[in-house]
Amino acid sequence: MSGQPMGTSAKAGEGDLAILYPERKTTIAGRSITMREYGFVEGMQLSALVEPVADALSDVAFAAGESLTPAALRPAFAGHLDAVTTLIAAACDQSVEWVRGLDDADGQALMLLWWVTNADFFVRRVIEAITVRQMETASDGQTSTPSSPRPAMTPVGSVGTRTVN
């Protein structure tokens, strides 16, 4: 036995589940919302929308070394408004029309909830993009040159050596 009182393993397991499938619940515009992080398959299905947003986020992070706060990322989100709106709607199982119809305060609250819930999903893609850029930058300007020839071995008895008879 683990030494834990009976009945606590379910609560401990809930924490593990929350790490694997983070969900956040709130009420926005009078509607109960459950925001969830994209899973592997859903992320692949949404990749056409995710990739341009992740590229824009990596531009922000790479260029300025900024942290990926909602304020720093707002221009990147605005630059991909249709994709972000669809991604937000998918993560909370609401219609795109409902998301588009929110007032500013509710829209900002929903976007923040989406970002907090899905930041790790995007950060993994941003880290990958930044790593690739750094590798490309490190190799820029370096040309491949043939390696130096191996030093020739001087045989015994050749010029510069003395042979003992």
Q: Which domain holds residue 94?
A: 38-134
Count of domains for the chain: 1
> Per-residue pLDDT for 151 more than 50?
no
Q: In this predicted structure, which of 18-27, 31-40, 51-60, 142-151 has the lowest mean pLDDT?
A: 142-151
pLDDT at position 141 is 59
pLDDT at position 16 is 55
Higher pLDDT: 17 or 44? It is: 44
The answer to whether 92 touches 114, Cβ cutoff 8 Å, is yes
86 lies in some domain? yes
Q: Identify the residue whose tokens are 């029309």.
A: 97
> Per-residue pLDDT for 146 more than 90?
no
Q: What length does the chain have?
A: 165
Does the global pTM surpass 0.85? no
Calpha distance 106→108 (Å, rounded): 5
Residue 91 tokens read as 């993560």
156 lies in some domain? no
160 lies in some domain? no
Q: In this predicted structure, which of 34-48, 53-67, 118-132, 136-150 has the lowest mean pLDDT?
A: 136-150
Q: What is the share, in percent, of the chain residues with pLDDT greater than 90? A: 48
44 lies in some domain? yes
Higher pLDDT: 4 or 12? It is: 12
Say if residue 24 is exposed, middle or buried (CB neighbours under 10 Å; 0-12, 13-18, 19+). Answer: middle
> What is the helix, strand, coil percentage profile of the chain, to 5?
60, 5, 35
60 lies in some domain? yes
Mean pLDDT over 61-87 rounds to 85
Beta carbons within 8 Å of 115's beta carbon, 6+ residues apart: 70, 73
- Report the sign of the C-alpha dihedral through residues 67, 71, 75, 78, in that order: positive
84-129: per-residue pLDDT in tens?
999 999 999 999 999 999 999 999 999 999 999 999 999 899 888 8
Mean pLDDT over 60-88 rounds to 86
Most confident by average pLDDT, 5-19, 101-115, 125-139, 144-158: 101-115
pLDDT at position 64 is 63
Tell me the CB-side half-sphere exposure of residue 160, using CA atoms within 13 A: 3
Residue 132 tokens read as 């690739």
81 lies in some domain? yes
96 lies in some domain? yes
Residue 121 tokens read as 């999903």
Q: Which residues pair with 26 in a beta bridge?
A: 33
How far out from the chain centre does Cα 46 lie? 14
